[in-house]
Chain A
Amino acid sequence: MSRAPLTVGIIANPASGRDVRRLTANAGLFSSTDKVSVIQRLLAAFGATGIDRVLMPTDMTGIAAAVLKNSHGRQARSSHWPALEFLDLTLRQSVEDTRLAARWMAERGVALIAVLGGDGTHKAVAAEVGDIPLLTLSTGTNNAFPELREATSAGLAGGLFVSGRIPPGIALRRNKRLLVREPSRGLCEMALVDVAVSSLPFVGARAISRGTDLAEVFVTFAEPQSIGISALCGLWFPVSRQAPGGAWMRLDARSPEALLVPLAPGLLQGCGVLAAGSLEPGVAHRLCLASGTLALDGEREIEFNAHDRPTVTLDAGGPLSIDVNATLAHAAQQRLLAIGREHPQHPLNLESQDTLENKNVDTADR
């Protein structure tokens, strides 16, 4: 009986993890070499869970090249990596590359897209792929949407779901989103975690590194343990990922109340809190400033001025993502990773292989 090959996509943002916050805060580096390792951990987990094919975009920073090179190596063979197919995009070295790769993968009907990047990368993919679930991995600076998580176990969760062994009701989580609309400019942009209104006039180096640059914040969810702009609400007016609504906060340096917030790794800033409240789904909110910039998921992206009237609306139309904890809990309960005597990784098979190797006997190449 033949079945359609199980195909998933992997998109790694080559640019994530190296912005100005290495200078303005104590953010670490997520090098291309590290990203290659994360992808290879995913490939091992996908191979182990029966994924047949993986689509990846090419890039200008050697990530795809290193994975291709290593796919001919011993580790790749012994962990049965899926077949790799590289999407030959015309690269612009901007977020457009991520969007284009996501569109191509959606057209190819992938069952899942693993995303390596920050909140911004996940947002760019989510905007293109409808209800294809995302396996989210943080390789950015301060992220709330993708969790910091080991890629091997995340890959197992993704692979178990795609191979049909986890019910969607357990594996999948629907996320909220914020929509920024400015009809006169034909603008409709999405954020997955937060929209911040800043008086800074220009996009510049994108990150927001000072609390006094913030006037208003909208969040889809805000956890007390988070870092970045959503930590503001997380430490004052927290709201969970699962709650139907979000939260907003108004900030002013002269407010009677102030809050200490981790705005970036190692960067704690005092922010004057004017007011905070719940954000109801479906209600369009105007901004408290007439001009400035809007930071979507932590990065200034939109400059607006007195002629514009942007609004921010929360809804439940965000992407589906894999709930790794719930998926692996189900896998444990059902012993889904139990293996039989025929499995090449069965300890007895490994033992006999060792014996053969020690005797220097040629074995058929797998």
Chain B
Amino acid sequence: MSTQLTADQLLHAYQVMRTIRVFEERLHVEFATGEIPGFVHLYAGEEASAAGVMAHLGDDDCIASNHRGHGHCIAKGVDVYGMMAEIYGKKTGVCQGKGGSMHIADFEKGMLGANGIVGAGAPLVVGAALAAKLKGTDSVAVVFFGDGGSNEGAVFEAMNMASVWNLPCLFIAENNGYAEATASNWSVACDHIADRAAGFGMPGVTVDGFDFFAVHEAAGAAVERARAGEGPSLIEVKLTRYYGHFEGDAQTYRAPDEVKHFREHNDCLMQFRDRVTRAGRVQASQLDQIDSEVDLLIENAVRKAKSDPKPSAADLLSDVYVSYP
């Protein structure tokens, strides 16, 4: 609930956000070369949301993500090189190169998967939360969906069931203003996604998704409620994406200076750096060092991923069906 983070926690949060940013900015460049199969949906601009929520979670807490899942995976601790190889469709990827950008999963890290079906993560985390409740652990389950996902029936059903069963569940609506090319103020009838929580008998709040500390504080309060057996919550995180819905989207539906304005005035990394250094909590040189380490990490991940082997024809049917004894 409080924002009294230690210097180590602050540095970790910065490292997570910076890793996501550099990962996504690099994919923006690499995707244009045509070497990456499938679609990629970049999370750049939204980093404070993933970092602020995941700061409260451990490997035993499950999350489910959506098509824009790279940031959630990185913040949940999925291996960055394994992710890059997965996006390149290589055998060394976290899902052996058969999932790609929209299906990165790592159960050991509590990452139930990115998901190409809008809103489909919500029922999954209700299952995970039910499992935690039945097993009597204090784990929580968190789903990330967007403003488009917030209109899906599966999300409503999941919220209803989570509330009826009082499950340790968080619904994080990352409202970046657009469902693909449709503005959320045209398509979300209740106008504030957080308002929908009242219909399911759970608290709903809206937070500034450019501000790591705002997300961290709200998510902390919601996780604390869930772990204490007080049931689910909905957090609407208001933010923006710096790139199109997918790479290649011409974004003719956005105002020309929209992204520029947010990058210059609201950017989560810029705000975070300014504030923690001004408060004297960490030194700028420590953040610079993280910047260099992250650059190197991403450079190595891309270089290795590019030269790694693809899955072979013999791999085609492995990991597809569960082998029953």
Residue of A nearest to B204 (CB): A22
What is the 8 Å Cβ interface bit string for chain A, positions 303-318, against chain B (1 contact, 0 not)? Answer: 1011000000000000
B190 touches A31 (CB 8 A): yes
Report the separation of the CA atoms of residues A296 and B280 in the bound assembly, to the nearest whole angstrom.
Answer: 23
Q: With an 8 A cutoff between CB atoms, is B213 at the interface?
A: yes
| Tally of chain A residues near chain B (CB < 8 A) | 34
Could you list some 15 contacts between A and B, CB below 8 A?
A14-B191, A18-B195, A20-B207, A24-B1, A24-B221, A29-B195, A29-B204, A32-B195, A62-B185, A200-B2, A201-B279, A202-B213, A205-B214, A205-B221, A305-B278
9 A-B pairs closest in CB distance: A204-B213, A205-B217, A61-B191, A23-B221, A62-B191, A22-B203, A204-B3, A202-B213, A32-B191
Q: Which of B203-242 contact A (CB under 8 A)?
A: 203-207, 211, 213-214, 216-218, 221-222, 225, 233, 236, 238
User: How far in angstroms is the closest Cβ of chain A from B273?
Assistant: 13
| Tally of chain B residues near chain A (CB < 8 A) | 36
| Chain A interface residues toward B at CB < 8 A | 14-15, 18-24, 29, 31-33, 60-63, 90, 92-93, 200-206, 209-210, 213, 291, 303, 305-306
In the complex, which of the residues B192, B204, B213 contacts A203, with contact meaning CB atoms closer than 8 Å?
A: B213
Residue of B nearest to A90 (CB): B255
A31 touches B213 (CB 8 A): no
Q: With an 8 A cutoff between CB atoms, is B181 at the interface?
A: no
User: How far in angstroms is the closest Cβ of chain A from B201?
Assistant: 12
Residue of B nearest to A92 (CB): B261
B206 touches A18 (CB 8 A): yes
Which residues of chain B are within 8 angstroms of A90 by Cβ–Cβ distance?
A: 255
B279 touches A206 (CB 8 A): no
Which residues of chain B are within 8 angstroms of A93 by Cβ–Cβ distance?
A: 238
B281 touches A201 (CB 8 A): yes
Known A20-B218, A23-B221, A32-B191; contact A205-B4, beta-carbon cutoff 8 A: no
User: How far in angstroms is the closest Cβ of chain A from B6?
Assistant: 12
Residue of B nearest to A35 (CB): B191
What is the 8 Å Cβ interface bit string for chain B, positions 77-114, against chain A (1 contact, 0 not)? Answer: 00000000000000000000000000000000000000
| Chain B interface residues toward A at CB < 8 A | 1-4, 185, 190-192, 194-195, 197-198, 203-207, 211, 213-214, 216-218, 221-222, 225, 233, 236, 238, 255, 261, 275, 278-281
Which residues of chain A are within 8 angstroms of B191 by Cβ–Cβ distance?
A: 14, 32, 60-63
B278 touches A203 (CB 8 A): no
Which residues of chain A are within 8 angstroms of B214 by Cβ–Cβ distance?
A: 203-206
Which residues of chain B are within 8 angstroms of A20 by Cβ–Cβ distance?
A: 205, 207, 217-218, 221
Which residues of chain B are within 8 angstroms of A213 by Cβ–Cβ distance?
A: 2
Which residues of chain A are within 8 angstroms of B3 by Cβ–Cβ distance?
A: 200-202, 204
User: How far in angstroms is the closest Cβ of chain B from A14?
Assistant: 8
Residue of B nearest to A60 (CB): B185
Report the separation of the CA atoms of residues A201 and B194 in the bound assembly, to the nearest whole angstrom.
Answer: 27
Known A18-B206, A23-B205, A31-B198; contact A204-B275, beta-carbon cutoff 8 A: no
A18 touches B4 (CB 8 A): no
Report the separation of the CA atoms of residues A23 and B218 in the bound assembly, to the nearest whole angstrom.
Answer: 7
A209 touches B1 (CB 8 A): yes
Which residues of chain B are within 8 angstroms of A205 by Cβ–Cβ distance?
A: 207, 213-214, 217-218, 221
